[in-house]
Chain A
Amino acid sequence: MNAVADTFPRLLQEHAALRPGRTAMREKHLGIWQSWTWAEVAQTVEALACGLHELGLRRGEHLAIVGDNRPRLYWCMAAAQCLGAVAVPLYQDAVAAEMAYVLQDAEIRIAVVEDQEQVDKLLELQSQCPALSCILFDDPRGLRNYGHSALRPLDALVASGAAFAAAHPGLLTAEIAQGSPADVAVMLYTSGTTGRPKGVCQTHGSFIAAARGDAGFDHFTPQDELLSYLPMAWVGDHLFSYAMALTVGFCVSCPESGETVSTDLREIGPTFYFAPPRVFENLLTQVTIRMQDAGRFKRALFGFFMGVARRVGARIMDGRAASVSAGDRMLYALGDLLVYGPLRNVLGMSRLRLAYTGGAAIGPDLFDFYRSIGINLKQLYGQTETCVYVCKQPSGDVKLETVGKPLPGVTIRIADNGEVLVRSPGLLSAYYKRPDATAESLDAEGWFHTGDAGYFDADGHLRIIDRAKDVGRLLNGTLFAPQYIENKLKFFPFIKEAVAFGDGRASCCVFLNIDVAAVGDWAERRHLAYGGYTDLAGKPEVYELLGQCVEKVNRDLAADPALGGSQIRRFLVLHKELDPDDDELTRTRKVRRGFVAEKYAILVEALYSELEQQHVQTEVRFEDGRRGVVAADLRLCTAKCFTLAGERAA
């Protein structure tokens, strides 16, 4: 055996030799958890690889993989890699047109898909992707009468592959031996919010280095457990469910279906968990709703102990229990018995050692909630291009505002314009067929340009504030990070959207959209009558409510020496909701700041004048395609600003 396995197929062989009887993967099927040992996985992967070889899959070619997280789809990735081919997982919920681009770009000839839905989608695309000649499917349901020559069940491939392996012993061993860590292992497509999706080529070496680094940093062992439920095409899932599982050798479980994830989570009880902030938010909402329906005694108990947790939970989590009084420690222990423990159990987090979040900013309340009930939730930072291997918050040294410290082997430099530049063992080898894009992102000295703006704080933690191209400066030279300010505002439940202006201006001003559900509920509790969004948004009481939110943001900003100068001076509440149908938001609900500034130029000017009121008329498109006009007299409000922390001290 090799000293250290340096490609995924060799890692698989190593586990099959070292721990053949240990469970490598599980999937719930027909209500029962089915499991496969490392030896069984290695055997099936071998059969799949031989089957794919028979179909003509060769070194350097691409194999598309489309579907929910299923064991056999993961194994097909490994099978392709055995042959020196490259796995290309695609987003299973992508519409046909989006998929067509990737299939053409990656010159896909053979695709492995989950079920009928994906088969239908690919058959529809066959005329646009003439190269696609073979579609292998995992679940035969509903496909019996298709009779299409390109279709083949995966079962048949396993059977013929096993026969082929028996007839040609040594062929696969030779193929695996030919593989090198510098070979491209997988190609992940970036989401393409800016232009066409790009295929990010990652080698065995970089993913294995990233996985080893992560495993060392947070002490992963073969005893860990993970439930894989995020899209296979996403780099986060690929790193944790595939690269880490193969590197460390822990067990990955696949849920029964997309809707059963929460039940499956409880049954498996994973030891680590990874989710974008949105998922953590949904979980918390469910808990809150269920607590509101609970009896008075339980509600009181929950309220009291959550108070205790908020006060001392985070400190205990960070290992600073010494700073907590003995009484509070006892209360926390009691709370753990009565509230936090059962709550973790309901969330499927009883055995959780680590939880990660990343990909978007997480709200302070959300972050603190999980940490205070004893879940070690940490943020990490990285991109598809870096195998998500850049920064991570170290256990016991977690700061909400930052994404943590550079991981072992990573070097970070802040460019003059504030952009974060990264050297990481997980760097991409290239963008597929896009030398121009590769040259743009990866400079001659090997720095990857992330496109994010950030800086290091006094303790050496990296803070990401915005996309570098959006970051500007106020007239007085203060850094202005619009998205950072908007996110801070949007963490308030009353604020749905925010648009910040300030680049090249004297100060920062914002447009706000209220969240109709939250503010409407708030208004009803105060017996405040209103008729529709525009009316509610214009209420003086609502302005006052939002004024308080803005004030809190300003107070936070004032404490930050780098951004304190960009406090919000004036704000207004827009008379209509920003809408993708009116091109004000992208389909993924990101604000198109430039477009909004142009469309509402009159309001922006009014904010920077000293006007108290401004009349505005806007054309809107209704859902049925008709157009109409919304007109309103908007109030403009001045917010309370604070002196900078530094200045006060001086």
Chain B
Amino acid sequence: MSAPQGAVLLEVQGISLSFGGVRALNDISFDVRAGEIRAIIGPNGAGKSSMLNVINGVYHPQQGVIVFRGQPRARMNPHAAAFQGIARTFQNIALFKGMSVLDNLMTGRCTRMHRHFLWHALHLGPARREELAHRARVEEIIDFLEIQHIRKTPVGRLPYGLQKRVELGRALAAEPSLLLLDEPMAGMNVEEKQDMCRFVLDVNEQFGTTIVLIEHDMGVVMDISHRVVVLDYGRKIGDGTPEQIRANQEVIDAYLGVSH
């Protein structure tokens, strides 16, 4: 598929991140254009999740700059990143297990709720109207992800594949301009993977959301992303379209191993 030639939404410049003596990321630079699906791949321990954590402010790199929407960003926390329009899902599902699917999705709206929580606690006039508007938006996401039948089911009772879908739903509920997906297809069977691929593509196409995703499954990545960054031991070893990555000798070596 042809990559959208949109403006650069996010730019990562010379990021280095260490934990004590371990260099997780070493001088990484790449950009993400508005409207594209950008994949970060690499073997285990390559620094993929660390990169995602840097983007949404969980980790603070020792060196390097992140430019989001043209603004170089100061040290920030995940909460501020969420308010800037960056939403994410996690490698190990991080939902509220005891709450229903609907309530989990409603929590995704909290960055957009303006009334004081006391108003909401009393469920009066303006707060009530606000909740109705948010509920309508959440219902559209339920419809979009085809999870109507589990709307009122506690998340903990759902199979893994559906929990992953709910987590995607919660991230979408925040109406992000940048969506970070950490291994959205890990641990799924073939059919669940296909469904998830379709949802990721539909999100990108229908809502125009820019997506950065980490994935292990090379086949999936090559099929759905516009451009790919390859990390290995904290270094960037490849960056380009899926075709370019497929032909990159260093990437092939990193994935298949080299005889020494």
Contacts and interface: CB of A to CB of B under 8 A. Distances in A.
Interface in A225-261: 256-257, 259-260
Interface in A1-51: 28-32
Given A259-B149, A260-B148, A30 B143 contact: yes
A540 interface: no
B149 A263 contact: yes
Nearest to A257: B148
Interface stretch (B134-142, B170-178, B247-255): B134-142
Interface of B: 135-136, 139-140, 142-144, 146, 148-149, 151, 198, 202, 205-206
7 contacts: A30-B143, A31-B142, A141-B202, A145-B205, A256-B149, A257-B146, A257-B148
B149 A144 contact: no
A142 interface: yes
Contacts of A31: 135, 139, 142, 148, 151
Nearest to B143: A30
B206 A142 contact: yes
| Residue among B135, B142, B143, B148 with the highest chain A CB neighbour number at 10 A | B148
Majority secondary structure, B binding face? helix
Contacts of B146: 257
Contact of B206 (A141, A259, A260): A141
List the 4 closest A-B pairs by CB distance, nearest first.
Answer: A259-B149, A30-B139, A31-B139, A260-B149
B202 A257 contact: no
Contacts, number: 33
Nearest to A260: B149
A119 to B, nearest CB: 14
Contacts of B198: 142
A378 to B, nearest CB: 30
A30 B205 contact: no
Majority secondary structure, A binding face? loop
Contacts of B149: 256-257, 259-260, 263
B151 A142 contact: no
> Chain A: interface residue count, which band?
10 to 19
Given A31-B151, A263-B149, A141 B144 contact: yes
Nearest to A258: B149
Nearest to A145: B205
Contacts of A256: 148-149
A611 to B, nearest CB: 48
B202 A142 contact: yes
Nearest to B149: A259
Contacts of A141: 144, 202, 206
Nearest to B198: A142
A145 B148 CA distance: 26
| Residue among B139, B143, B144, B205 with the highest chain A CB neighbour number at 10 A | B143
Nearest to B150: A259
A30 B136 contact: yes
A141 B146 CA distance: 12
Given A30-B142, A31-B148, A144-B206, 19 more contacts: A29-B143, A30-B143, A31-B135, A31-B142, A31-B151, A141-B202, A142-B198, A142-B202, A142-B205, A142-B206, A144-B205, A145-B205, A256-B148, A257-B146, A257-B149, A259-B148, A260-B148, A260-B149, A263-B149
Given A257-B148, A257-B149, A263-B149, A30 B206 contact: no
A166 to B, nearest CB: 32
Contacts of B142: 30-31
A249 B163 CA distance: 43
A256 B149 CA distance: 8
Contacts of A257: 146, 148-149
A29 B139 CA distance: 9
Nearest to B144: A141
Interface string A410-429: 00000000000000000000
A260 B149 CA distance: 5
Nearest to A261: B149
A263 B198 CA distance: 27
A93 to B, nearest CB: 16
B140 A30 contact: yes
Contacts of B144: 141
Nearest to B152: A263
A115 to B, nearest CB: 11
A260 B205 CA distance: 27
Contacts of B136: 30
A316 B55 CA distance: 70
B240 to A, nearest CB: 24
| Residue among B140, B142, B149, B198 with the highest chain A CB neighbour number at 10 A | B149
Contacts of B202: 141-142
A165 to B, nearest CB: 31
Contacts of B206: 141-142, 144
A144 B208 CA distance: 12
A580 B143 CA distance: 37
Nearest to A142: B202
A415 to B, nearest CB: 48
B124 to A, nearest CB: 22
Nearest to A29: B143
Contacts of B143: 29-30
